[in-house]
């Protein structure tokens, strides 16, 4: 089975720009979550998608948005980038049928905003 893959692995953007990060979920997983991890901190929950709908959101502003596609892959979009958006963005997939809702994480996208 394939794991969770994220693209790109690294990205540099300028303040004010928009960015789209992509995630392919693990085979058989229909739930995708996104996390932001600042340097030296634990990952922080952004939102989750289940069957193409957002069904949970953390404390992030509306300029963080997402999509989930019929094949369960997902995108994270961030508008009007700020310097503090520089972080590792992690995607995790799961399924209610999987062992105790265990999440499988990708290796992340390192976003640098300058």
| Residues that bind other proteins in the complex, under the rule CB under 8 A | 4, 30-31, 33, 35, 40-45, 48, 50-51, 55-56, 58, 90, 92, 96, 100-108
Please say which residue, 16 or 102, places its beta carbon nearer to other proteins.
102
Please say which residue, 62 or 99, places its beta carbon nearer to other proteins.
99
Residues 48 and 29: their CA atoms lie apart, in Å, by: 13
Do 26 and 106 meet the contact criterion of CB atoms below 8 Å apart?
A: no
* Least distance from other proteins to the Cβ atom of residue 74, Å: 14
Residues 100 and 4: their CA atoms lie apart, in Å, by: 18
Please say which residue, 3 or 16, places its beta carbon nearer to other proteins.
3
Do 85 and 79 meet the contact criterion of CB atoms below 8 Å apart?
A: no
Tokens of residue 113, six digits: 């905003």
* Least distance from other proteins to the Cβ atom of residue 18, Å: 24
């Amino acid at each position: 089975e394939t794991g969770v893959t994220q693209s790109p692995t690294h990205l540099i953007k300028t303040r004010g720009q928009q960015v789209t990060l992509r995630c392919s979920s693990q085979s058989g997983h229909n739930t995708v979550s996104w996390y932001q991890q600042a340097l030296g901190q634990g990952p922080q929950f952004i939102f989750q998608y289940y069957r193409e709908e957002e069904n949970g959101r953390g404390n992030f502003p509306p300029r963080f948005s997402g999509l989930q596609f019929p094949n369960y892959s997902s995108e994270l979009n961030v508008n009007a980038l700020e310097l503090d958006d520089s972080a590792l963005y992690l995607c995790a997939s799961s399924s209610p049928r999987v062992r105790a809702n265990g999440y499988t994480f990708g290796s992340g996208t390192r976003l640098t905003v300058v």
